[in-house]
A and B are shown apart, each in its own frame.
Chain A
Amino acid sequence: MPSVSTVASREFSDIVRSKRFIILVAVFSIVFMVGIASIYLTVLSTARGLGIAMPTGFIGRAASVVASSISYFAPIIGIALGCDAISGEREKGTLRTVLAQPIYRDTFITGKFLAAFLAVSIAVSIASLVNVGGSMVILGVTPTGEDMVRLALFVAFSILYAVSYYGIAILLSTVARRTTQSVIVSVTLWAIFTFAIPIIASLVAYMYRPITSIEIMGRPGRNATNIRPSPEEMQRIMEQIRARAAITEAINSITPNHHFTKIAQYILGIPGSIMQSRPDLSIYQGLASAWPHTLVLVLVACITLIASYMIFVRQEVR
């Protein structure tokens, strides 16, 4: 029986030799380097201006750069590999040729997934290495053993994140008649998850939990130079901020991006918001805190891949 590896090896070879893959990895590597350098210069000038020390250690200096770079790169590589996985073969007519051979359809789609998984792993690893290497050279710090473990874990979660987007893209590619349709819908979804949902979440939180600083200003005896709230008022403001954060998180939690950001915060120890100082969690504690978010990404990947599989197996090749 033809094995999954037959499909996977050809697919993998196609992916890594494709211009699309090479260009994506190259462009992102350059963008990462430029990003690291510009962020370093900004942080350096800000730190000097305010007279505060630069963050120390590798994770402290490079983590947020690495995390934000990969948070853009991973979905794009996932979408780039998944959006034409099935619809592309259908459009070129090669799907008919392949499925006219004695091959099970699940073998075909599993082979595609394995190849993409491997390619995504390579792409994310290269991107992360470029990030880390660039950070070491530009920021002038060397990662410790613990930093390396954290980074390795981060790369693994980044691969999972990319695979969850690959799952969304291959599902759309299975359903769509044309690749252009699946590309448009995938990219639109990514843009909604990345840009629109966080804005909507903030607006909704603001509508339901406005912070009443004006009210404080309007109290008798208060003016622009004397606006320090009382302890009770401060407590109320903090509660409002927490409530807003809870609403924002609840809405953002429908996106894979939110869960990846949370994982990055726990694993790399990046401050989440003004309410969250750097967690300083151990690796074990970070993993324990990250697991619900990991589960969501695993579920997104599994559900989309299973749905793609079920649709594809029953689909008519016309």
Chain B
Amino acid sequence: MSEYVIETYGLTKIYRSGGGTVVAVDRLDFKVEKSSIFGLLGPNGAGKTTLLMMLTGLILPTSGSGKVLGYDIVRESREVRRMVGFLPEGFGLYEHLTAEQNLEYIAALNDIPKPERRKRIEDILAIVGLYEVKDRRVSGFSRGMKQRLGIAQALLKDPELLIMDEPTAGLDPEGSKTFKDLVSKLNSEGRTIVLSTHLLFEVGPLCSSIAIMNRGRIVVQGRVRDLVSKLMSEEGYKIYVEVRGDSGRFASALMGMDGVRGVRMGLDGLYIDSTKDIRVDIVKIASELSIEVSSIRVEEPSLEDLFMRYYRGGGVDA
């Protein structure tokens, strides 16, 4: 099988309503690597949910094509739904049923044989930490518990790919941590996880690769590491040097270096704004000036910086 679990080519969804049209997803090309944790990031209304709905066969694309686990999302939609675990936004649980009854129903819809069903349900309830409350009605669950039950229903079919739409919305810090631990554990078992969210701080750090969506288009995508490097090369390097000695003389020397755009004095060191990575040259100059460098580091842009850069700027595909 391909090294990608999701591939889309020119995937487009146009909604028609009230005589007008809304392009929810606009000619999308993107890929998700196997065994990765992929973050689909973007503000509300960016088209993330529509994209996930198309991938899981809940809505049909207007044009373009896509494959999930090697199956065509239109022609082989049922195979896709057989193989992919999906946690919809809001978790989509029957609140009047117990946790176990919810899972029983989903297991039956997936044709899991009865003798195997009970054991699998109990195992999964144990994994998500809900075994003790399996006989309680979902209406009495906290949001975090509902989310874990939602993940449990998605895990029932033992999916290779787990897609979750806004899984952390409304979770308290403890619920959020439990969720992250669970996602890491599931990923360590070899499952690919796709997380869609507008809450960058919650799931961003979990992701090995991301795509940022805005107005139906992916404005940037790739591995977090590559995107950070790209942003640094585009926007410059922020280098912090902690020194002992005459930092004023050192700053003057640095200002004359090729690529240096500015130097700012800090409490214990200097902040250097440069167009390239000049750490080696900085150490060399310090040595020439007999200035002791205690530490030197490049301050990498955070995911938030990435998000704001590409979200605000509209961006281009990486």
Contacts and interface: CB of A to CB of B under 8 A. Distances in A.
Contacts of A100: 56-58, 81, 84, 86, 88
A93 B81 contact: no
Contacts of A14: 96
Contacts of A317: 53, 58-59
B92 A2 contact: no
Contacts of A92: 92, 94-95
Contacts of B89: 93
Contacts of A94: 92-94
A2 B92 CA distance: 19
Nearest to B59: A316
B145 interface: no
A96 B88 contact: yes
A22 to B, nearest CB: 14
A1 B111 contact: yes
Interface stretch (B38-46, B102-110, B260-268, B307-315): B102-110
Interface in A1-58: 1-2, 6-7, 10, 14
A101 B92 CA distance: 12
Interface string A84-124: 00000000111111111111100000000000000000000
B12 interface: no
Contact of A93 (B88, B106, B109): B88
A96 B58 contact: yes
Contacts of B106: 97, 101
Contacts of B86: 96-97, 100
A1 B59 CA distance: 21
A103 B109 contact: yes
A219 interface: no
A278 to B, nearest CB: 48
Contact of B81 (A7, A10, A101): A101
Interface in B151-202: 153
B78 A316 contact: no
- Which of A1, A95, A98, A316 counts the most B-chain CB atoms under 10 A from its CB? A316
A75 B229 CA distance: 67
Size category of the B interface is 20 to 34
A102 B82 contact: yes
Contacts of A1: 111
A102 B110 contact: yes
Nearest to A104: B78
B60 interface: yes
Interface in A149-182: none
Nearest to B79: A102
B91 interface: yes
B53 A98 contact: no
A96 B79 CA distance: 16
A96 B92 CA distance: 7
A7 B91 CA distance: 19
B70 interface: no
B90 interface: yes
A97 B105 CA distance: 11
A1 B79 CA distance: 12
Nearest to B150: A97
A287 B86 CA distance: 52
A318 B109 contact: no
Interface in B33-91: 50, 53, 56-60, 78-79, 81-82, 84, 86, 88-91
A255 to B, nearest CB: 32
A100 B164 CA distance: 12
A97 B78 contact: no
Contacts of B153: 97
A101 B50 CA distance: 17
Contacts of B92: 92-98
Given A2-B108, A102-B82, A97 B93 contact: yes
B105 A99 contact: no
A103 B57 CA distance: 11
Nearest to B91: A93
A92 B95 CA distance: 9
A98 B109 contact: yes
A317 B93 CA distance: 16
Given A94-B92, A100-B88, A317-B53, A6 B109 contact: yes
Contacts of B57: 100
Contact of A2 (B53, B60, B94, B109): B109
Interface string B104-122: 0110111100000000000
A318 B53 contact: yes
A96 B93 CA distance: 10
Contacts of A93: 88-93
Interface in B108-158: 108-111, 150, 153
Contacts of A102: 78-79, 81-82, 109-111
9 contacts: A7-B109, A93-B89, A94-B94, A96-B86, A98-B109, A101-B106, A103-B109, A316-B58, A318-B59
Interface of B: 50, 53, 56-60, 78-79, 81-82, 84, 86, 88-96, 105-106, 108-111, 150, 153
Given A96-B88, A100-B56, A318-B59, 8 more contacts: A2-B109, A10-B105, A92-B92, A93-B90, A96-B58, A100-B58, A101-B109, A316-B59
Interface of A: 1-2, 6-7, 10, 14, 92-104, 316-318
**Top 5 A-B pairs, shortest CB-CB distance:** A97-B92, A102-B82, A96-B88, A93-B92, A101-B109
